[in-house]
A and B are shown apart, each in its own frame.
Chain A
Amino acid sequence: MRSVLPVLTVVAGIFVIWYLAAIWLNAAWAYDKASRTGEELGFVMLVADTWSQDKPKLPAPHQVGAEIWDTTVEKKISSKRSLIYHSWITLSATLLGFALGTGLGIALAVGIVYNRTMDMSVMPWVIASQTIPILAIAPMIIVVLNAVGISGLLPKAMISMYLSFFPVVVGMVKGLRSPDAMQLDQMRTWNASPSQMFWRLRLPSSMPYLFTSLKIGMAASLVGAIVGELPTGAVAGLGARLLAGSYYGQTIQIWSALIMAAVLAAALVALIGLMQRITLKRMGMA
């Protein structure tokens, strides 16, 4: 409970800055409008106007809040204007990509730890893959997969996978190598087979590293799914909402989609954090 006050203070601070910035950024349009109708604009009028414009440069928090309320609670989930519906489209690609990325990451890490050739050759490629801007490669992936007849969920999930496998590889290589020389010697004295060594020592030892990687991978996955929706002219998903919003200058819609994405990411990472706590507690490691 001690953390409530500091958190609320920071949130309040953000709101104050946000409202002030809204006045500052939207004032020009308010003055413009007033001069056209020949009105004299007082300070109170100015503030009221900057916080209630239809297409403000920066919408005020309560406008974004109202939009989110309107598009989640008030709309039916099946509606094309429901933010829940769009979130689900993005979430499904995120989760599929995350699962694929985690699988690929663990497989590569096992290969790197157990195969000397892979140890010497794979890591530079893995790192190089992450230096390519995802915005540049995402359209290529979509186009190429479309050409071979794969469309819909999978191309977006592939982009999520592309971003999320990286932290898993790095974390799992470290985790699988975390048993010390004594623990490995001990296994040797029992004449343990390589697979026994993996399942009974290396894999359990790597669990704390895995969960840390999964948290980063999950956030990267969501970014991947949203980016995957941008270049394709997708009609649904948070990325599509962002794109449509920017076409029509619907800043309120953009901000509500952004806030939704942030909430989604926070919830997913918190979920992994919970799994981490439960797993490590059951393993007696936390």
Chain B
Amino acid sequence: MNVIGARNLNLTFQTKDGPVQALKDVSLDIGKGEFVSFIGPSGCGKTTFLRCMADLEHPTGGEISVNGVSPEEARKARAYGYVFQAAGLYPWRTIGGNIRLPLEIMGYSKAEQQERVARVLELVELSAFEKKYPWQLSGGMQQRASIARALAFDADILLMDEPFGALDEIVRDHLNEQLLQLWRRTEKTIAFVTHSIPEAVYLSTKIVVMSPRPGRITDVIESPLPTERPLDIRDSPEFLEVAHRVREGLRAGHLDD
């Protein structure tokens, strides 16, 4: 069964300058355990599509299911963790307290909360920072803490909206490597929005290329790369070939302008 299934999804925003079609006839299936990247220029609807999966936007046409139910039911069942572009940690809570926040909301017992916080902090290599406040951490560490927060409860889907967009290249490489390890260990299904071609190719088992006006899918590329991916795989011919095809897809989207 597909974890995410979208059929002819349409979403039109009503704005002052008239209707804007953010998504047009978007159909896509995401299988269990896949790592799917969405790439495209601004306004191509990649974030909107992700927000539809999360029940933060409501499609005006078509169908979408998450774990076989509607996005709203999936949200209420806490089926996914969502990582935003900014870490969005509460300044008045410690790192541990921030990760505990969704667990408190979901009513986990104190002991269970503590156990889970310790486990996910270990997972993102921040165990020493549980008692620190967010401002005491670098931007990359804060984003790792926000990923830990999304992993703390039992959601097997991880929705990530340009989580590393605001970080520098070196930190980004390191986090990409960590995220891949994390994905292999936890076997989550990940939907990942990005601007960066190397990032999309390095991380994904499937790359979805989108283009704007109206937002639509122009290409879906199944990655031939092995699951084991050291950073220097990015210099291999296979990698460059996939990156080339993504670039072609992006360019094709622009030719219609």
Taking Cβ atoms with an 8 Å cutoff, the residues of A that contact B are 182-183, 185-193, 196, 200-201, 204, 207, 283-285
Contact = CB atoms under 8 A, between A and B. Distances in A.
A201 B93 CA distance: 11
Given A283-B91, A284-B91, A284-B135, A182 B105 contact: no
B106 interface: yes
Contacts of A188: 55-56, 75
Contacts of A186: 82, 84, 88
Interface residues of B, number: 26
A201 B133 CA distance: 16
A189 B75 contact: yes
Given A188-B56, A188-B75, A191-B78, A183 B101 contact: no
A83 B101 CA distance: 52
Interface string B39-75: 0000000000000001110000000000000000001
B84 A185 contact: yes
24 contacts: A182-B84, A182-B86, A185-B56, A185-B82, A189-B54, A189-B56, A189-B80, A190-B78, A190-B101, A191-B105, A191-B106, A193-B105, A200-B101, A200-B104, A201-B90, A204-B90, A207-B92, A283-B92, A284-B91, A284-B92, A284-B133, A284-B134, A284-B135, A285-B92
Contacts of B185: none
A187 B105 CA distance: 9
Nearest to A197: B105
Contacts of A200: 101, 104-105
Given A188-B75, A191-B75, 6 more contacts: A185-B84, A191-B76, A193-B105, A284-B92, A284-B135, A285-B92
B75 A192 contact: no
A98 B252 CA distance: 66
A208 to B, nearest CB: 10
Nearest to A284: B133
B102 interface: yes
A14 B81 CA distance: 63
A164 B101 CA distance: 34
